[in-house]
């Protein structure tokens, strides 16, 4: 396992060591002791989530606040996505900035999204199965979101806007500027 710091504090790209042979491959996708020693954070993951989506599906930018704020460790089991983390910590020098990483079944790369960040992904392959661990349980009353095309954030989704598929809820999310005063992490 190799860890790369991103431009956003506490947000890390994780490259797993994959052992391949004629039978297939094996890798250890998570080891708490190793994870903590490499990034200096010891998450207590309590919930795993998985979704399957088709090309162009964009999920996010989502977050949870207050006592239900979540850190996530995300990866792709099948297909390819562009995964995005947005720093929403108002006191952070990188507030409103984002990092985008391609995650795929071929590169076995993971992204650690710390508490106080928004998270989103768009599917770049015909389909993708997305998996993530959360260090806090989902709570509907604590959820929030930011519109995917917020010009202040400026994410290049690497897919034509006409090909994006969003839920009604995600298509109606506010901009960061509209909600920044109500953020609390």
Active site residue 148: no
**pLDDT score for 1:** 87
Each residue's pLDDT, cut to its tens digit, for the chain (185 residues) gives: 899 999 999 999 999 899 999 999 999 999 999 999 999 999 999 999 999 999 999 999 999 999 999 999 999 999 999 999 999 999 999 999 999 999 999 999 999 999 999 999 999 999 999 999 999 999 999 999 999 999 999 999 999 999 999 999 999 999 999 999 999 98
Nearest to 128 by CA among 50, 62, 42: 50
Active site residue 132: yes
Token look-up 């239900």 returns 68
**pLDDT score for 107:** 96
Of residues 98, 108, 119, 132, which has the active-site annotation? 132
Handedness of CA 114, 7, 111, 31 (dihedral sign): negative
Of residues 62, 68, 148, 184, which has the active-site annotation? 62
CATH numbers and ranges of domains, the chain: 43-182 (2.60.120.10)
**pLDDT score for 157:** 98
The encoded tokens of residue 114 equal 């710390």
């Amino acid at each position: 396992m190799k860890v790369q710091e991103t431009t956003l504090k506490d947000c890390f790209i994780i490259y797993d060591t994959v052992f391949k042979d004629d039978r297939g491959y094996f890798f250890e996708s998570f080891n708490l002791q190793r994870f903590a020693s490499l990034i200096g954070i010891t998450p207590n993951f309590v919930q795993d989530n998985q979704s399957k989506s088709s090309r162009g599906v964009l999920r996010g930018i989502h977050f949870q606040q207050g006592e239900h704020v979540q850190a996530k460790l995300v990866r792709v089991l099948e297909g390819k996505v562009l995964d995005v983390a947005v720093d929403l910590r108002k006191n952070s020098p990188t507030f409103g900035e984002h990092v985008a990483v391609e995650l795929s079944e071929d590169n076995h790369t993971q992204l650690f999204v710390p508490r106080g960040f928004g998270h989103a992904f768009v599917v770049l392959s015909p389909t993708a199965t997305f998996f993530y661990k959360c260090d806090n349980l989902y709570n509907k009353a604590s959820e929030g979101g930011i519109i995917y095309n917020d010009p202040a954030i400026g994410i290049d989704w690497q897919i034509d806007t006409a090909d994006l598929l969003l839920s009604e809820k995600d298509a109606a999310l506010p901009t960061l500027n509209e909600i920044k005063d109500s953020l609390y992490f």
